Structure 1
């Protein structure tokens, strides 16, 4: 499962999370807020991201999923969580809950390596599909996932109810 690569002349290793990584992983929560609709409360979004990460860490401890970190010379620079969940069709899919890369390591291949670790984990679970969600406005993430071969499957629509139709 370990893989190595260079990010801005740093050695990066992908490995399963350890308890001592918790603080560094939680510090990446703000990276999960990109692409969230502008009408959502930004503080609530950050808190939700922290809760998502905490839930993924708990799932990994209980062996209901896995969390992998990208570790560089200066510490943890990325995280991905993956578990299994039932699709509405009844099949079990693997699901990436969170993928976050530190700003200074972005666009250096860390996200790609973390997704490869999630895909390897998913294959070992015997599932056929790996799914994930990202914000509709997060065009950077959408292009990243498309480049990895992910296809859009669902679209979520929201209407603000205190506005009249056609006046949003």
Structure 2
């Protein structure tokens, strides 16, 4: 496992954060959405996420011992979809390609769980595209379970 340090994101990290957008928009996607649609979604989501963040929101950057940025996670307060109870929400998690399989995502998710517990949340939630089986499997191994499934039928 790689030696990883997590630090709060600074303004100087935002170019790195945005540089990973193609990794997020390029995930396996529903066949009725082309890459341009996914890129547009990702651009809108990044703008909404970072233009007016909640005061409790946190973005952490994973760094290697050699001083290279490896990935990031953004967490924010959310609400449980069933009860409305406040909970933690992982809105973004992205890694540099070279950081895959090195424990970086695990460390970032561990930090998200600690952040959520520190705020007294009972739940931590996230969304993932159903066709992104790699991500679904990763989160399932970490103890996440499907709560709702949105079904879509192209017409």
Deviation at 1:41, TM superposition (A): 2.8
Using the TM superposition, give the Cα deviation of residue 48 of structure 1 relative to its aligned residue in structure 2, in angstroms: 2.0
Alignment match of 2:101 (pick from 93, 96, 107) = 107
Tell me what 1:12 maps to. Answer: 4
* Alignment partners' CA distance in 2, 1:117 and 1:59: 22
Distance 2:48 2:72 in 1: 14
Alpha-carbon spacing, 1:71–1:53, altered in 2? closer, same or farther (3 Å): farther
CA distance in structure 1 between the aligned counterparts of 2:135 and 2:107, rounded to whole angstroms: 15
Matched residue, 1:32: 24
- Residue ranges of structure 2 left out of the alignment (5+ in a row): none
| Correspondence 1:125 to 2:119 | yes
Correspondent of 2:38 among 39, 45, 48: 45
Deviation, 1:30, is 1.4
Number of residue pairs matched by the alignment: 152
Flag the structure with larger Rg: 1
Q: Work out the CA distance in 2 between the residues paired with 1:64 and 1:105.
A: 27
1:65 aligns with 57
Distance 1:59 1:32 in 2: 21
Q: Deviation per CA, 1:55-86: give whole Å up to 9, x if none.
A: 333454x5241111112235321111111122
* 2: CA distance, partners of 1:29 / 1:83: 18
1:97 to 1:134, Cα distance in 2 relative to 1, 3 A: same
**CA distance in 2: counterparts of 1:102 and 1:142, whole angstroms:** 19
Per-residue Cα deviation, 1:21-55 (whole angstroms, up to 9, x for no partner): 00011011112121321211312212322332333
RMSD: 1.7
In structure 1, which of residues 68, 80, 84 is the aligned counterpart of residue 73 of structure 2?
Answer: 80
- How many angstroms apart in 2 are the aligned matches of 1:59 and 1:116? 25
Structure-1-length-normalised TM-score: 0.83
Question: 146, 157, 163: which is aligned to 2:151?
Answer: 157
